[in-house]
Structure 1
Amino acid sequence: MTGPRTAALAGWLAALALVLAACGSSSSPSHAPAAAPSGAASAAGARDADLSGVTLRVGQTGWAQFKAALQVAGLDHTPYRIKWAVFPGGDKQLQALQAGALDVAQTSDIPPVFAAAATTPKWRVVAVQRAATLQQNVVAAKGSGITGIAGLKGKKVGYVQATTAQFFLYKLLVQNGLTWNDIHAVPLTPQDGVAALSSGSIDALATYGNSVVTTVRQGATVIGSGQDILSGNFPWEASTDVVADPARSAALVDLLARVNKAYVFIRDGHEEELAKIDAQDTDQPQSQALEQIRANEQQIPTAVRPGGAAQIAKEQDVADTFSRLGVLPGKVDVASYWSDALSARLTGALGTS
């Protein structure tokens, strides 16, 4: 397996290209700031500062989910510009963030651990998004005859390196009396994993999101889930330059408050509107997208929150797990790349105490 340090360094140029080629649609600033997410949900910095010259380059994984949520809630007309970019994984977002090709990333709690192990981070975790852990599965190829995790012994198993997929695959193996060395682990991107499973190049795949939907549609069988293994914490990372910049950090706080407000709106009877966009972007039936959205919001309602000791401790467990697995070069101090620099403003913007 390629070491995480080598993989991160090698991926930066590719990540730069991804930013340019990804969905780079933007939200243009309105001539006057749009109505902010009601009352306390508006960032004070966004009200007080002229943000018309600010551009935030924001990454997402899989499909443009946050952009769609803001559109559904009518919160997409921001007093600053947003350039959205979609990536195949959170690790690629952090490579782009480290290289200066992205301002803001949103990942699971696994990619930051690997990125911090690879180099000194030029970014900080500034908030956490609580979100569902559904659609994080191990799927067996059609006709493979594999019916459970124990059946993976000696098999070729694809996984998305440095993501939730690698973490829950490892945990599921241990739960079933196996070790990482009991399988032939093959690191793949989600897209390449789907293709490899379909062609028979691998016997099973640990993946997430749209890749699960696609493989199941092609006849794969779900044999394991990360639902009860993963924390449900999905960090928002920002470059240290953004954190230190008054105008850009104010725009980021406002954006996070808008995302939080958007999901409150969606849960208040507007799931079908989001499902319509989701179905178009992910090429699945709208009824299926709606079912998944409702299941996600029922399991863990999507919400943005400032980070804290509890979230840091859970991510430290992730780092320690990968250290035991031998894929991290020693211990990673998770707290070193978390920052509370935006917490007070975000708390005010969210209307929380």
Structure 2
Amino acid sequence: MFRRTIRASAAVAVVVLLLPFAAACGSQAQAGASSDASSVTLSVGATGWKTEEAVLRFAHLDDTPYDVKWSVFQGGDQQLQAIRAGALDLASSSEIPPVFAAADGHPNFKVVAVQRGATLNQEVVAAKGSKITDIAGLRGKRVGYVQNTTAHYFLYELLKQAGLKWSDIDATPLLPGDGLAALNGGGIDAFASYGTSIITAHQQGAVTIGSGKDILSGNFLWSARDSVLGSPAQRAAAADLIARITKAYAYVNDGRRNEFAQIVAKATHQPLAQAEKDLRDAQSQRPTEARTVGDDTIASQQKVADAFAELGALKEKVDVGSFWSRKLNTELEKAL
């Protein structure tokens, strides 16, 4: 049975709110000396809305033999901050947040699995009525972006493709909600973001001027606290949960997309027809499914980390292989 904990606020506030859970997570690590899953509670992060929890319930796969506490964040970067604070056991993110979370050389987590997913709704948008029609038109403009996320990365790559440098724009880091408000209020000329914030931006009349669809790898990472990997029971629970999400999406894709789209539409406050189209397009582009850690997945993140070093967002190059682990591979293969 799931225990549901919802938090949605700025990064620091989220971590502060969740810190009381850290002690509970630590006690679970001790209990994990037993392989009994019933002794486990996993604190798991989600971005945007309760997508993973919702799809598990829809597929009748939410009756886990362990407890799950879901916490919602505005971005994967906040989830990694919560892991660093000891407030989450599992974090889901793009390839980028773990790079910055590990940049100090003392991460308390490992990337343990990859979830393949769509790269749609990863866009640079201009406000309704804007004269900006493409990335080249951003020279000298005020551009908001969600720092240390996919939006940061694909904005940088799109600028390079258009023959522009990062210094050619007035770049402003903003959280998704703040970026939308700034775009609509005229505080910025364009906004690079993802997910529900892009869906909402389009509902408010924003137009796409650049997309990260073909820039991003489609690799979304599961990061686990080191204490999880040290506990047989927590490790087994983590593998089982990740596998269940893959099975849940397989259930959705087996002729039930329109049914699940009704849940998505209600949660994201968008028209049902749009939710159906977005879900169909996303699952057609790249069905959501987990895979184990491999050399290619590590190399993919290394490419991203090198781009941030080139951009100057990292003080020095980061060896991403130092915070990946194959310790979950065997359990995940069995669970899948």
Task: Give TM-score scaled by structure 2 length.
Answer: 0.91
How far does residue 117 in structure 1 lie from its aligned partner after superposition? Answer: 1.1
Q: How does 1:1-353 map to 2 (within 5 A)?
A: 13-17=12-16, 19=18, 49-350=35-336
How far does residue 19 in structure 1 lie from its aligned partner after superposition? Answer: 4.0
User: Relative to 1, partners in 2 of residues 1:18 and 1:211: Cα closer, same or farther, differing over 3 Å?
Assistant: farther
Read off the aligned partner of 1:309 and give its amino acid letter. D
Q: Deviations over 1:144-169 (max 9, x none)?
A: 21010000000000000000000000
For 1:202, what is the secondary structure of its paired residue?
coil
Residue pair 1:15, 1:95 contacting (<8 A) in 2 also = no
Q: Deviations over 1:244-275 (max 9, x none)?
A: 11111111111111111111111001112221
> Structure 1: which 5+ runs fail to align?
1-10, 22-47
For 1:280, what is the secondary structure of its paired residue?
helix
How far does residue 197 in structure 1 lie from its aligned partner after superposition? Answer: 0.4
Q: Which deviates the most, 294-303 or 280-289?
A: 280-289
Read off the aligned partner of 1:133 and give its amino acid letter. T
Give the distance between the partners of 1:86 and 1:290, measured in 2 at CA. 23
How far does residue 118 in structure 1 lie from its aligned partner after superposition? Answer: 3.7
How far does residue 14 in structure 1 lie from its aligned partner after superposition? Answer: 2.7
Read off the aligned partner of 1:144 and give its amino acid letter. S
How far does residue 143 in structure 1 lie from its aligned partner after superposition? Answer: 2.4
Q: Identity of counterpart residues, as a percentage? A: 56
Residue pair 2:45, 2:71 contacting (<8 A) in 1 also = yes
User: Relative to 1, partners in 2 of residues 1:18 and 1:150: Cα closer, same or farther, differing over 3 Å?
Assistant: farther
Residue pair 1:72, 1:273 contacting (<8 A) in 2 also = no
Give the distance between the partners of 2:160 and 2:235, measured in 1 at CA. 42
Residue pair 2:19, 2:86 contacting (<8 A) in 1 also = no
User: Relative to 1, partners in 2 of residues 1:291 and 1:18: Cα closer, same or farther, differing over 3 Å?
Assistant: farther
Task: Give TM-score scaled by structure 1 length.
Answer: 0.86
Residue pair 1:194, 1:215 contacting (<8 A) in 2 also = yes
> Structure 2: which 5+ runs fail to align?
1-9, 21-33
Residue pair 1:59, 1:84 contacting (<8 A) in 2 also = yes
How far does residue 127 in structure 1 lie from its aligned partner after superposition? Answer: 0.2
Q: Deviations over 1:293-330 (max 9, x none)?
A: 11001001110010110011010000100101111011
User: How many residue pairs were aligned?
Assistant: 315
How far does residue 53 in structure 1 lie from its aligned partner after superposition? Answer: 2.2
How far does residue 115 in structure 1 lie from its aligned partner after superposition? Answer: 1.1
Residue pair 2:11, 2:81 contacting (<8 A) in 1 also = yes
Give the distance between the partners of 1:338 and 1:215, measured in 2 at CA. 35
How far does residue 50 in structure 1 lie from its aligned partner after superposition? Answer: 2.5
Give the distance between the partners of 1:327 and 1:289, measured in 2 at CA. 35
Read off the aligned partner of 1:171 and give its amino acid letter. E
